[in-house]
């Protein structure tokens, strides 16, 4: 008899607990969003416009691209690529805000929208670690915006997961995010260390920190596999040059302008260097490396010469043809 009473009591307790948490249970039992395996005509056409806009550096045409991509997404909200491209355009608008004659406070909304769409892209295609890296960076940035330490930490540890998933790609992504921080901050220093590690994993050797001449590694260039992101590609026509421009900027900001000059010079090894729209920027960086230590650290009475991540070519340096 006692066993029956106990069993009934336990059953009632389970029912009561279930009823009290019915909202959480209902959400948990909802079917997961599944990615589509077939891309529609609208999505394909929107992608063409996306790449045309991005590769031409047509910042003023971002809204046109967003209209096409968002329309395609509303038609098929299970397309990871469309979600990621919407995120990228919002990111681009925020990242290269230096192009604007007046920067509105609401530009920060672009960061939040980018994070939300990257979140969808990751949900729909968790196997693409690039999406995870972008989501992590935007989560960290959004946490910083809101002064939300928990969100900042979530973004940071997500970055570490992204690095583990694809170090050749996400060591750069993570370090680039950190490049806007003060040069004496632990996270900036970690971000700079990640750039060195990125070079190491790309060539599967330890790059000489004192004399980082990349010439002997140029024969390793590939368009295949995980190491393809270490070089130029159709997606990022000047990825190689942009990487060394950013890393040089970070070294200058850290105060090591002599090593920065050597790192900058590696960009000239690219077979595509002659067609790079930002070659003159790099050459000026080499010439002004010492004076840019103060400029990149925002010292008073220095030229308004921002580090790459705060510049009008924060994305275009790698992606503009």
- Domain residues for 148? 37-165
Residue 306: φ, ψ to 5°: -75, 150
The Cα 40–Cα 45 span in angstroms is 9
Residue 240: count of CB within 10 angstroms of its CB: 26
Rounded mean pLDDT for each run of 10 residues along the chain, 321 residues in total:
62 59 64 81 97 98 98 97 98 96 96 98 97 98 96 97 98 97 97 98 97 97 97 98 98 98 98 98 98 89 84 97 96
Task: State residue 31's pLDDT score.
Answer: 72
- Residue 3 included in any domain: no
Task: State residue 34's pLDDT score.
Answer: 81
Secondary structure of residue 2 in the 3-state scheme: helix
Task: State residue 237's pLDDT score.
Answer: 98
Same structural domain, 118 and 247: no
CATH number for the domain that contains residue 73: 1.25.40.10
Same structural domain, 127 and 96: yes
Number of domains in the chain: 2
Whether 98 and 310 have beta carbons less than 8 Å apart is answered as: yes
pTM score of the predicted model: 0.90
Whether 251 and 192 have beta carbons less than 8 Å apart is answered as: yes
Same structural domain, 237 and 125: no
The two three-digit tokens of residue 308, written as one number: 């790459």
Domain endpoint, select from 112, 132, 165: 165
Nearest one of 47, 35, 108, 117 to 76, comparing CA atoms? 35
Same structural domain, 47 and 117: yes
Whether 195 and 171 have beta carbons less than 8 Å apart is answered as: yes
Same structural domain, 82 and 127: yes
Same structural domain, 190 and 144: no
Torsion-angle region of 79 (φ positive above 0: left; ψ -120 to 50: alpha; else: beta):
beta
Same structural domain, 55 and 129: yes
The residue whose two tokens read 């969808």 is 120
Task: State residue 141's pLDDT score.
Answer: 96
- Residue 28 included in any domain: no
């Amino acid at each position: 008899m006692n066993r029956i009473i106990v069993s009934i009591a336990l059953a009632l307790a389970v029912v009561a607990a279930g009823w009290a948490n019915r909202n959480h249970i209902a959400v948990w039992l909802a079917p997961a969003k599944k990615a589509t395996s077939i891309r529609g005509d609208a999505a394909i056409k929107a992608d063409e416009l996306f790449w045309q806009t991005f590769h031409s550096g047509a910042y003023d045409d971002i809204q046109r691209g967003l209209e096409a991509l968002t329309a395609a997404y509303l038609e098929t909200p299970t397309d990871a690529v469309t979600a990621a491209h919407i995120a990228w355009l919002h990111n681009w608008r925020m990242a290269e805000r230096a192009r604007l004659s007046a920067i509105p406070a609401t530009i920060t909304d672009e960061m939040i929208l980018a994070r939300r769409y990257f979140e969808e892209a990751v949900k729909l295609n968790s196997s693409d670690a690039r999406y995870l890296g972008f989501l992590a960076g935007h989560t960290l940035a959004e946490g910083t915006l809101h002064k939300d330490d928990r969100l900042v930490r979530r973004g940071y540890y997500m970055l570490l997961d992204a690095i583990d998933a694809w170090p050749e790609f996400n060591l750069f992504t993570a370090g680039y995010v950190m490049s806007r921080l003060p040069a004496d901050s632990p996270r900036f220093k970690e971000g700079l260390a990640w750039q060195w590690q990125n070079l190491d994993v790309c060539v599967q050797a330890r790059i000489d920190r004192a004399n980082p001449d990349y010439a002997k590694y140029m024969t390793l260039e590939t368009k295949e596999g995980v190491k393809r992101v270490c070089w130029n590609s159709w997606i990022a026509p000047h990825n190689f040059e942009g990487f060394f421009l950013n890393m040089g900027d970070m070294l200058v900001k850290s105060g090591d302008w002599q090593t920065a000059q050597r790192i900058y010079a590696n960009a000239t090894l690219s077979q595509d260097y002659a067609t790079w729209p930002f070659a003159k920027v790099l050459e000026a960086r080499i010439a002004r490396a010492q004076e840019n230590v103060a400029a990149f650290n925002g010292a008073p009475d220095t030229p308004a010469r921002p580090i790459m991540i705060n510049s009008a070519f924060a994305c275009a340096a790698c992606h503009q043809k």
